Amino acid sequence: MEQWIPYLPNWLLIFCRITAFMLAAPVFSTRGIPSQWKIGLSAIIAFLAFPAAGLQEPTVIDGLFVLSIVREALVGLLLGFTAYLFFTAVQIAGSFIDIQMGLGIANVIDPMTGAQSPLIGNFKFILAMLLFMTFNGHHYLFDGLIRSYEWIPLGNGLFAAIEGGSVHESLLRSFSGVFAMALQMSAPLVVALFLTDVGLGILSKTAPQFNIFVVGVPIKIIVGFLLLVLVLPGFVYLFQDLFGSMFQSLDQLTKLIGNAPK
């Protein structure tokens, strides 16, 4: 035990990164998972990663140790937030669809995040979570988190990467990619509902006796749900591309921080 005590600060740093990742990563950051379970799982993963990442050089507990804790927590939050950012593309796409269907004002409380979310966006978000776990995406997240110590050791150059602006550029590229994916996911239904609006506008001119404001809303909702049922099987391939882009962005961010000067 005396040989392991000097390496205890290293385990604490590993635990801080993994716990911060659990607070921001998809699936694990939901309210449905108890906090005790998150802390226990983080401790188990920290013990698994400790032999490979924590036995290299003992860390001295001094004034700089607080900065090391902040740095490791920021690394975990950046990795978890980048992964969660791609799941928000599903909710953004659902918001675009809800606005066209006339359901934009009917937001519901998402039990997973505790925030208001659109109806179609909430449905797609739950579907994305289920498919992500079906594809064993949470296993790949754990594997990538442990392998991140190969590129981002405990003594990493995160602050230098933030000061140089490379981390901000990576997050901005990820956000722009997420917004583009949201537009692509919602484009079929948005275009179809826009054409429905055009048809209703032509009908209002040719037959003024029809009350378009009364007839148009149910028609758009029915058309939206019918198209949603038709394109639902294709979501599997869309989410596969989404998850692939997520892991690619995490890999780029990991290498970016790992190559930063210390």
What pLDDT is stored for residue 116 in this prediction? Answer: 63
Q: What is the dihedral of CA 105, 110, 114, 116, to 10 degrees?
A: -10
pTM surpassing 0.85? no
Biggest CA pair distance of the chain: 89
**φ and ψ at 117, to 5 degrees?**
-145, 155
Segment 72-104, tens digit of pLDDT? 888 888 888 888 888 888 888 888 888 777 776
What pLDDT is stored for residue 213 in this prediction? Answer: 72
What pLDDT is stored for residue 67 in this prediction? Answer: 84
Mean pLDDT by groups of 10 residues along the chain of 262 residues: 71 88 84 82 85 71 80 88 86 81 65 64 82 85 83 76 79 86 85 85 77 76 85 82 86 78 53
What proportions of the chain, in percent to the nearest 5, are helix, strand and coil?
A: 80, 0, 20
107: which DSSP letter?
-
Cα Rg of the chain (Å, integer): 23
Instruction: Evaluate whether 217 touches 102 at the Cβ level (below 8 Å).
Output: yes
Q: What DSSP assignment string belongs to 170-211?
A: HHHHHHHHHHHHHHHHHHHHHHHHHHHHHHHHHHHHH-TTS-
